[in-house]
Amino acid sequence: MKRRDFVGLTSLAAGALFLPSLPGFGHTAVDPARLLEPGADVIVKKRLADAALNAAKTAGASYADVRIGRYLNQYVFTREKQVQNIVSTESYGVGIRVLVNGCWGFASTSVVTEDSLAATARVAVDIAKANRLVQKEPVQLAPQSGYGEVSWKTPIQQGAFEVPVKQKVDLLLAANAAALDNGASYINSALFQVNEQKYFASTDGSYIDQDVHRLWPTFSATAVDTKSGKFRSRGSLSSPVGLGFEYLTPSAAEQIAGPQGTNTVGYKLRYDILADAALAGKQAKAKLSMKSVTPGKYDLVLDPGHLGLTIHESVGHPTELDRVLGYEANFAGTSFATLEWKAKNLPYGSKSVNIVADKLQPGSVGAVGYDDEGVKTREWDLIKEGKLVNYQKIRDQAHIVGQKESDGCCYAQSWEDVQFQRMPNVSLRPGTAKMSVDEMVSKVDKGIYIAGAGSFSIDQQRYNFQFGGQLFFAIEKGKITEPLEDVAYQSNTQEFWGACAGSCDQSDYRLYGTFFDGKGQPSQVSSVSHGSATTRFNGVNVINTARKV
Amino acid sequence: MAILSKDEAQNILKKVLSFSTADECEATLNGSIGGNVRSARNSISTAGAVDNVSLAVQSRFGKRSGLATCNEFDDATLRRCVQRAEEIARLAPESPEYMPLLGPQQYLDGSRSFAAATAAIDPAYRAKQIGASMALCDEKKLSSAGFLDDSVGFIAKRNSKGLEAYQQTSYVGFSVTVRTPDGSGSGYAAADYTDATKLDAARLTRVAAEKAASSVKARAIEPGKYTVILEPNALLSNVDTSLLGVLMQSLDARSADEGRSFLSKKGGGNKKGEKLFDERVTIYSDPLNPEIGDLTFANDGRPQQKTTWIEKGVVKNLYSSRFWAQKAGIPDLPPPGGWIMQGGTQSTADLIKSTAKGILVTRLWYIRPVDPQTLLYTGLTRDGTFYIENGQIKFPIKNFRFNESPVIMLNNLEAIGKPVRLNGSLVPPLKIRDFTFTSLSDAV
């Protein structure tokens, strides 16, 4: 039996978001004050790393890297007027990866001493040697010069752990009250705070110390009409961010109004949880009596808080080179965008589709200075004027597409997991011509404006997808007319991006993000952001999702 | 660290409780050892080992509770862990849903949740199993991606009210996706067991390989409502949301009573006691079932008993937290681990023979909620979808997207086959009429 089976069925199936209550294996529950204590000094970490690297080389490794990781998390969960749980955890240990005669080996340990690291390095070498017997394609690692001793830190203004727990609880409870006062019957809210203190060293001569911070305030407000038995929910319009607690200080300059007649608000790098919760309460209640959509073809105007998830699924995943090559065939799936497909130079989307990958964007959850195999991060084009021009790669994949360098996309969720190719931030460039969301709506004859991410599903090769949302508004003859319910759109990746009719300008640009992008077996999660401005797609098939049971 | 015996574990827990100065204290010791190996393109891609043991101490002062954990068990560490739990508890807000810790409990005896053969798995066993799978695909000129993982574990609990629990578990699972080299055919098979002697990766790979080879040149047929035979892998998955999984996860009393579940009743209350499904639908849990031997106690120490959840289409029981059971005055039932959907004797092949026109579905994928009000889910067929006519598989068909609710599905039941173990549950293949496919997918 697996641990996840033991944890078993839970009462909040609909909100997997709100599940965690006990720290996982390897994570130690600690006093919140512990999260403010510094980790080991870089001098100590360098000595430990060298012990592992030397042991690996002596045992026969041609390359080795060591990740000394201290992972600090604090999660606060509330519902209505009460705190459900406050969890502070620390996980500290070391993962060692070695290359022996073209075969990878990996081992990890929570005992962080020079002897233990040397022994763990030898275990990794033994595993590599055992696997070599059945290895058919020897690993070819793109060369990487060492950076020496360098460091990087997420540019935050206020570390979330420095804020007293009471202040965080009070903020969530105030948001809950705002939702309940405005029509919600129930609300769950949560604040996720993450700090990854990662030290990377490799036989290439890099010693990289990084301090990565991420934050995610979120809620789901539900309105119930007992008489009719109907219930509807509205999720928060926040996003996971690579920012400190300053994200929760509202700023008028970081907000942008949705189209006239929608009363929606989009958030950039600052979020007003109290205003959003109050609006969510009203909107959840209003959803109980909204008009159900008439299925058919509509022009869709998609807000960045919604479109980010569609970008994630229909561009982010199909351009991961490991999926393209078949390494995820048994789990996440493969990709339609194979090397053969790319060679045909077929359109991925219309000429207005320009999609960029990066691990740098300020405020994004994917931003780091260096990836988990010691490559300095950068920005590169995936789709230019509708054509696929590149993939997402790591060091042992670059040669497959005739390239000499990694894109810096390597990541492991913890010291105890092996690093592999993970999605960087993948974003749609905003339109270059000036265009506000009201101007965009004014040109739509029959359409639907969608805000916020909802239901999502896409096939294993990333052709056919279906997306819902949080808020839907009918557009008729250039005007928002009324809110709608039961909306989902079904399309095909190339057809959908081919129907892209342009984006609003940079002033409307915002980031969507997730903490829980899953891939690999055993499965690992990673955090990724997707930026865009509000964008129009013509003639998309909309279905009505209401049923009777 | 090795798997601790009952005495070893309880001796640590006794020591933990002796350090407690709180009103109530509960200690849980949890450990597992295991490993995994993953392949793609007929070659091993990654392999790993897992060895974890962790102690969780929950201390309570009145209605305040604190949790601390550690993974070393010398006296000083244990004492510090208890002190930390107590410090956290003193700072915590009072819980309005506080329930006193459970006292001594009587647990079922004789669950076959552990098999020594699984504890004996070594890297050579894993390499042999996955090697046989890869060799078979090499021979047939097919490409495989597989994953084998195994673990043995133990859990021990003890609290200051006299509760004492201990059990060992084991698990081994293998799944494989086999594809034709040109990517035009794909097949899947998966299985899991408590006892590793039952695992035969080559046998599963043959099933997936046959599906891959026979699914090339798939034809497109119009989306719409079809009679389908859903194989067990299409009904329950350990790597994705699944239609029967979400149904079982929805049997929660609190969300039903709060009006936010398909089990909520118009005007208030829940639908327990109502017939919501075809009368042939019976689902129960039984920790002593020999094929899916399960834990005899829940995470919070409540006993797991044989429990009927749905009987002849009627919702018989809902599970809940201890707090909600007391507040609502209902039976205090924890959610089950594995469960059993009662079936017949027919195999999937028998179900195909009795089908005039229909679709055989190997697997459903990327299943996500669309409307919690009706338990409507969407997802796609994957890795082997075939058209059936006059009791025979006629040709492979392109994959479909579906939008369907397990509640509607279990009302449109035509036939139930023989249950097989999957993800620690027993799941039969089902023949369903009017299953709703809403669009076509080019994915293979």
- Which of these three, A215, A242, A265, is where a domain ends? A215
Nearest residue to A470 via CA among A256, A337, A280, A327 = A280
Q: Two tokens at A392? A: 């997402």
Plot region of B404 (φ>0 → left; ψ -120 to 50 → alpha; else → beta): beta
- Count the alpha carbons within 13 Å of B198 in the hemisphere toward its beta carbon: 17
Report if residue A54 sits inside a domain: yes
Tokens representing B247 are 């149904």
> In terms of DSSP H, where are the helices of A215-351?
273-287, 304-311, 321-325, 339-343
**Distance between CA atoms of residues B437 and A482, nearest Å:** 30
Q: How far is CA B161 from the centre of its chain?
A: 31
Of B47, B96, B298, Cβ closest to residue A131: B47
pLDDT at A134 > cutoff 90: no
Q: Give SS3 for A411.
A: strand
Are A211 and A314 part of one and the same domain? no
pLDDT at B110 over 50: yes
pLDDT reported for residue A24: 54
Out of A29-33, A326-330, B284-288, pick the least confident. A29-33
Q: Which of A194, A215, A236 is the last residue of a domain?
A: A215
The 10s digit of each residue's pLDDT in B5-29 is 999 999 999 999 999 999 999 999 9
Given a cut of 80, is residue B162 above it in pLDDT? Answer: yes
A454-478 pLDDT tens trace:
999 999 999 999 999 999 999 999 9
- Which candidate from B43, B294, B337 shows the least CB-CB separation from A134? B43
Assigned token pair, B300: 């919070």
Angle subtended at Cα B239 by Cα B237 and Cα B241, rounded to the nearest 5 degrees: 65
d(CA B89, CA B84): 8
A contacts of B45 (beta carbons < 8 Å): 327
pLDDT for B115 beyond 50: yes
With the CA atoms of B294, B118, A96 and A318 taken in that order, what torsion angle do they form, in degrees rounded to the nearest 10?
Answer: -70
Please compute the mean of the pLDDT values over residues B299-323 and round it to a whole number.
97
Contact A258, A510 (CB under 8 A): no
Report yes or no: A400 at the B interface, CB cutoff 8 Å.
Answer: no
CA-nearest residue of chain A to B33? Answer: A2
Interchain CB distance below 8 Å, B69 and A23: yes
- pLDDT greater than 90 at residue A110: no
User: Which residues in chain A are contacts of B36 at CB distance < 8 A?
Assistant: 521-522
Residue from A330, A516, A540 whose CB has the most chain B CBs within 10 Å, to mutate: A330
CB distance A333–B443 less than 8 Å? yes
Question: Is the pLDDT assigned to residue A356 strictly greater than 90?
Answer: yes
Instruction: Tell me: do A373 and A482 sit in the same domain.
Output: yes
The two beta strands, B357-371 and B224-230, are: parallel
If one counts the domains in chain A, the total is: 2
Q: Does A12 touch chain B (CB under 8 A)?
A: yes
- Rounded Cα distance between A3 and A7, Å, is 6
Is the CB of A226 inside 8 Å of chain B's CB atoms? yes
Pairing of strands A446-451, A296-302: parallel
User: Which of A2, A29, A83 lies closest to B69 in CB terms?
Assistant: A29
Which pLDDT tens digit goes with each residue over A384-429? 999 999 999 999 999 999 999 999 999 999 999 999 999 999 999 9
Facing residue for A457 by CB, picked from B145, B186, B378:
B378
Please report whether residue A21 resides in a domain. Answer: yes
What does R_g of chain B's alpha carbons equal in angstroms? Answer: 24
Are A205 and A319 in the same domain? no
Length of chain B: 444
Touching B: A residues 249-288, CB under 8 Å: none
**Residue A250 within a domain:** no
CA angle B278, B283, B284 (to 5 degrees): 155
Q: Which domains does chain B have, with CATH numbers?
A: 6-211 (3.30.2290.10), 217-251+273-317+335-444 (no CATH)
Separation in Å, CA of A507 to nearest CA in chain B: 32
Q: What is the pLDDT of residues A58-68, one digit of tens each?
A: 999 999 999 99
Residue range B220-267, pLDDT digits in tens: 999 999 999 999 999 999 899 999 999 999 999 999 999 999 999 999
pLDDT tens sequence across A161-219? 999 999 999 999 999 999 999 999 999 999 999 999 999 999 999 999 999 999 999 99
CATH of the domain at A87: 3.30.2290.10
B324 contacts in chain A (CB < 8 Å) = 11
Q: Does B32 touch chain A (CB under 8 A)?
A: yes
The answer to the question of residue A291 being in a domain is no
Nearest CB to B84 within list A31, A455, A464: A31
- A334 lies within 8 A of chain B by CB: yes
Dihedrals phi, psi of B11, to nearest 5 degrees: -65, -40
Is A308 found in the same domain as A176? no
> 3-class secondary structure for A45-103?
HHHHHHHHHHHHHHCCCCEEEEEEEEEEEEEEEEECCEEEEEEEEEEEEEEEEEEECCE
The chain B residue lying nearest A222, using CA atoms, is: B260
B179 touches chain A (CB under 8 A): yes
For B351, half-sphere exposure in the C-beta direction (CA atoms, 13 angstrom radius) is 29
Same domain for A179 and A313, yes or no, is: no
Asked if A329 and B155 come within 8 Å (Cβ–Cβ), the reply is: no
Which residue, among B73, B262, B373, would best test binding to A if mutated, counting the most A CBs under 10 Å from its CB? B373
Task: Report the residue from A3, A83, A137 with minimal CB separation from B32.
Answer: A3
Count how many pairs of residues, chain A against chain B, have C-beta atoms within 8 Å. 286
Distance, CA of B314 to CA of A191 (rounded, Å): 39
pLDDT for B45 equals 84
Helix (H) or strand (E) holding A393: none
- Predicted local confidence at residue B1, as pLDDT: 60
**Residue A26 C-alpha from the chain's centroid:** 23
Q: Do B171 and A2 make contact, defined as CB atoms within 8 angstroms? A: yes
d(C-alpha B298, C-alpha A544), whole Å? 40
Q: Report the pLDDT averaged over residues B284-297.
A: 97
Percent helix, strand and coil across chain B, each rounded to 5?
A: 25, 40, 40
Residue B333 has pLDDT above 60, yes or no: yes
Q: A302 and A209 in one domain?
A: no
Chain A touched by B442 (CB under 8 Å): yes
**CB atoms inside a 10 Å sphere around CB B184:** 14
- CA separation for the pair B12, B70 (Å, rounded): 12
A306 and A198, same structural domain? no
Chain mean pLDDT for chain B:
96
Of the three residues A215, A246, A270, the one that is the final residue of a domain is A215
> Which of A30, A458, A547 comes nearest B371 by C-beta?
A547
A229 → chain B, closest CA residue? B266
Confidence of residue A10 (pLDDT cuts 50, 70, 90): very low
- In whole angstroms, give the CA distance from residue A441 to residue A447: 8
CB B295 to CB A104 under 8 A? Answer: no
Judge whether B68 and A30 are in contact, CB under 8 Å: yes
Task: Provide the pLDDT for residue A365.
Answer: 98
**Does residue A249 belong to any structural domain of this protein?**
no
Please report how the helices B123-139 and B201-214 are oriented relative to each other, as an axis angle in degrees rounded to 10.
Answer: 30
Residue with tokens 């870089």: A42
Same domain, A206 and A302: no
User: Which residue range forms the structural domain that includes residue A330?
Assistant: 296-544
Per-residue b or e along B109-119, where b marks 16 or more CB atoms closer than 10 Å to that residue's CB: eebbbbbebbb
Strand blocks (E) in B247-391 = 283-285, 307-311, 314-315, 340-341, 357-371, 376-389
Q: How far apart are CA A27 and CA B70, in angstroms?
A: 9
Mean of pLDDT values over B305-320 = 98
**Model confidence over A418-435: pLDDT tens digits?**
999 999 999 999 999 999
Query: Comparing C-alpha atoms, which of B393, B402, B397 is closest to residue B444?
Result: B397
Is position A226 within any domain?
no
- Gap between the Cα atoms of B374 and A549, Å rounded: 6
Residues A348 and A444 in one domain: yes
CA distance A254 to chain B (A): 31
Do A388 and A479 fall into the same domain?
Answer: yes
Residue A451's beta-bridge partner residues?
A: A471
Q: What share of chain A is helix, strand, coil (3-state, %, to 5)?
A: 25, 35, 40
Are B336 and B364 within 8 A, CB to CB? no
Shared domain check, A312 and A167: no
Q: Which residues in B lie closer than 8 A to residue A110 (C-beta atoms)?
A: 71
Nearest to B224 by CA among B18, B390, B440: B440
| CA atoms of B87 and B91, how far apart (whole Å) | 7
Asked, for residue A339, whether it belongs to a domain, the answer is: yes
| CA count, 13 A, side-chain hemisphere, B49 | 19
Rounded alpha-carbon distances, angstroms, from residue B222 to A245, A462, A522, B244? 52, 20, 37, 26
Q: How many CB atoms lie within 10 A of CB B344?
A: 15
Whether A261 maps to a domain, the answer reads: no
* B429 vs A: CB within 8 A: no
Three-state DSSP string of B112-180: CCCCHHHHCCCHHHHHHHHHHHHHHHHHCCCEEEEEEEEEEEEEEEEECCCCEEEEEEEEEEEEEEEEC
Strand partners, B170: B152
Instruction: Considering only the beta carbons, identify the residue of B145, B149, B373 that sits closest to A522.
Output: B149
Residue B366 — left, alpha, or beta (φ > 0 → left; ψ -120 to 50 → alpha)?
left
For testing the chain B interface, which of A9, A89, A135 should be mutated: the one with the most B CBs within 10 Å? Answer: A9
CA distances (Å), origin B138, targets A130, A285, A409, A450, B39:
20, 59, 31, 48, 13
Cβ within 8 Å, pair A329-B179:
yes
Report the relative pairing of strands A230-235 and A255-257 from DSSP bridges.
unpaired
* B-chain residue closest to A519, CA distance: B239
* Same-domain status, A189 and A302: no
Q: Is the pLDDT of residue A7 over 70?
A: no
